[in-house]
Every structure is written in structure tokens, then in C-alpha cells.
């Protein structure tokens, strides 16, 4: 079984509940959204990605791609104009890369983050083989996070498999649910899906919401979304994280988003990959 892979890298988790935890990242290709409004005024959509896409074929490696300060900062992991950068890889090949990336002296428990794009859009059955292979190779996988936008139902087989790992192997499973608000450019109607998130929570897990916001209006939208989830009986931690794929935009939003989180009673999540690594691909 193969998965279309944008990036595999080893770094520190930069966001949410496991911030600072050394982690293997598997970034799959494909997303059901385009999130073109991040960092743009109401009614406007970022054109940075389109500019880069004019020369898409001149790029042969993710690490050479320009960063964007507005719109989705992982644009090349779903925009078809960049699909040549994302090969289909066999499960064995992927786990070989994991092992090659892990520092020799890292004997501890491992954290695997499956991200995207939207990683639950496809490949769900392949994750069963992938995770099983990490156990076959005794990689000491102890934590597993899916970074999802919370709109994709879970395949029944994957759900049962994850449940068996959580209960039988003490695997700590997390859905980091970055549900999209209108500041992303997506509509609440398309993005807020309580019945789907409820399904994730039937597996023993440590899931949380992470809303990417900039303004007071966005903070209010986060509260509206949380209320919709609460009405469906969902009560998990909520993080607010600043919009900002580049340092200047991140720094502009950081303080006020921290203040909104403090005042509303939500948690604040930094994006440490921005100040630490400038949010470069592979970090």
C-alpha cells in the first residue's frame, strides 16, 4: 500500500499540547480546503501561492519552496500544481525514512505526527499498516497525533485499530483539531462538524481544538464554534494560536491572541517553528 507523501522530517512539535516534544512528522498530500484568507482582510484572498505556482515546475524539493505570509502556509501539500514534489511511497520506505531520521541517541518513546494537508482525507487504511510496521521494527511509538481540520469521518477499521492500540499498547492518541474559522476563508458551515469530531472522541485519546486567529472577531468566531461543539456534548481543551507563517505576521498577532486566550479562559498555543526555524519547510 502506498501513501502520497509531501514531507517526512524530524523536528520539535511547534504547536498545541505537545509543544517542544521531539517528533517524527509525516505530511501527506491533499486537502479538502484551500484556506486562502489567513492574514488577509475580509473579502480578500491571498495571491502569494498563485505567484509561486507560476514557476512550480522549477522546484524539485520542498526545502527550496518560498514561504508565504498569507493564506495556507503548507500550500504545496495540497495544491495540485505542486504535486510533482510529493511521491507515492511504500510503507516500508516511509518507515525506513523514519529510522534514518531518528538521532542514534534517541532511545526514548517516540511521537509520530501525521499531518497535511488533511491527513484523514485519504490513506486511512494505509495508516494501519504504517503504524503496525513501526511496532514490527520496535520503534517505541508511544504518542500518535493526527493534525486534522476535523471534517473527515474516520474509517471504521482505523477507528477499531486505534482503539485496540490505545487500550492494549498504551498508545497515547491525539486528534489536534484545527477547525477552520471564517478568517481562514472557509465557511463555518463547511468547517465546523461536531458529529465528526464526536466520533474521534469515541477512541481513548487526548484531543484538543486549536483555532488559528488574529482579531477579536476571530476570537468571537472561535467561541461560536466551541459552543456548537459543546451543544453536541464535546468538552475538550481549546487553544488559540496566532495567524502567522512568517515572523513579522506572527509577532504582530502573538500578544493580542495570548490576551484573548487569557481573557476568554482558553489556552494559548505558540508556533515555535516560526521564531525558532522561520517556519521553513521540514521544520
- Please report, as ranges, the residues that interact with ligand SF4 according to CB under 6 A: 31, 33-35, 72, 74, 78, 116-118, 149, 180, 184
Q: Quote the least distance from Cβ 168 to ligand SF4, whole Å.
A: 32
The distance of closest approach from Cβ of residue 173 to ligand SF4 in the complex, given in angstroms and rounded to an integer, is 20
- Which residue's CB is nearer to ligand SF4, number 24 or number 68? 68
Task: Please give the backbone phi and psi of residue 239, each rounded to the nearest 5 degrees, phi first.
Answer: -110, 145
Residue closer to ligand SF4, measured from CB, 30 or 110: 30
CA 254 to chain centre: 19
Q: Is 225 left (phi over 0), alpha (psi -120 to 50) or beta?
A: alpha
Least distance in angstroms from the C-beta of 78 to ligand SF4: 6
Using the minimum distance from each CB to ligand SF4, give the nearer residue, 119 or 171. Answer: 119
Which set of grid coordinates corresponds to residue 265?
Answer: 479562559
Distances (CA, A) of 203 to 12, 156, 167, 177: 26, 11, 9, 14
Q: Least separation, in Å, of the C-beta of 105 and ligand SF4? A: 33
DSSP 64: G
User: 3-state SS of 205-233?
Assistant: CCCEEEEEECCHHHHHHHHHHHHHHHHCC
Minimum separation from the CB atom of position 210 to ligand SF4 (A):
11
Of the pair 31, 219, the CB lying nearest ligand SF4 is at 31
Cα 124 to chain centroid, rounded:
15
Nearer to ligand SF4, 36 or 270 (CB): 36
Amino acid at each position: 500500500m502506498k501513501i502520497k507523501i509531501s514531507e517526512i522530517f524530524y523536528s520539535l512539535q511547534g504547536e498545541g499540547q505537545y509543544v517542544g516534544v521531539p517528533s517524527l512528522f509525516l505530511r501527506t498530500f491533499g486537502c479538502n480546503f484551500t484556506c486562502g484568507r489567513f492574514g488577509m482582510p475580509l473579502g480578500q484572498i491571498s495571491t502569494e501561492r498563485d505567484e509561486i505556482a507560476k514557476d512550480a515546475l522549477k522546484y524539485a524539493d520542498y526545502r527550496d519552496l518560498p514561504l508565504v505570509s498569507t493564506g495556507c502556509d503548507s500550500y504545496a501539500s495540497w495544491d495540485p500544481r505542486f504535486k510533482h514534489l510529493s511521491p507515492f511511497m511504500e510503507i516500508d520506505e516511509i518507515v525506513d525514512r523514519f529510522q534514518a531520521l531518528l538521532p542514534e541517541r534517541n532511545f526514548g518513546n517516540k511521537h509520530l505526527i501525521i499531518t497535511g494537508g488533511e491527513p484523514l482525507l485519504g490513506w486511512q487504511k494505509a495508516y494501519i499498516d504504517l503504524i503496525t510496521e513501526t511496532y514490527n521494527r520496535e520503534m517505541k511509538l508511544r504518542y500518535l497525533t493526527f493534525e486534522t481540520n476535523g471534517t473527515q469521518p474516520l474509517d471504521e477499521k482505523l477507528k477499531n485499530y486505534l482503539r485496540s492500540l490505545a487500550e492494549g499498547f498504551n498508545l497515547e492518541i491525539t486528534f489536534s483539531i484545527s477547525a477552520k474559522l471564517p478568517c481562514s476563508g472557509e465557511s463555518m458551515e463547511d468547517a465546523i462538524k461536531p458529529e465528526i469530531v464526536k466520533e474521534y472522541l469515541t477512541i481513548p485519546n487526548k484531543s484538543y481544538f486549536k483555532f488559528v486567529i488574529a482579531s477579536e472577531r476571530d476570537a468571537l468566531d472561535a467561541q461560536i464554534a466551541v459552543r456548537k461543539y459543546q451543544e453536541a456534548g464535546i468538552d475538550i481543551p481549546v487553544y488559540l494560536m496566532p495567524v502567522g507563517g512568517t515572523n513579522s505576521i506572527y509577532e504582530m498577532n502573538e500578544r493580542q491572541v495570548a490576551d484573548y486566550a487569557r481573557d476568554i479562559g482558553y489556552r494559548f498555543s505558540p508556533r515555535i517553528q516560526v521564531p525558532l526555524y522561520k517556519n521553513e519547510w521540514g521544520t
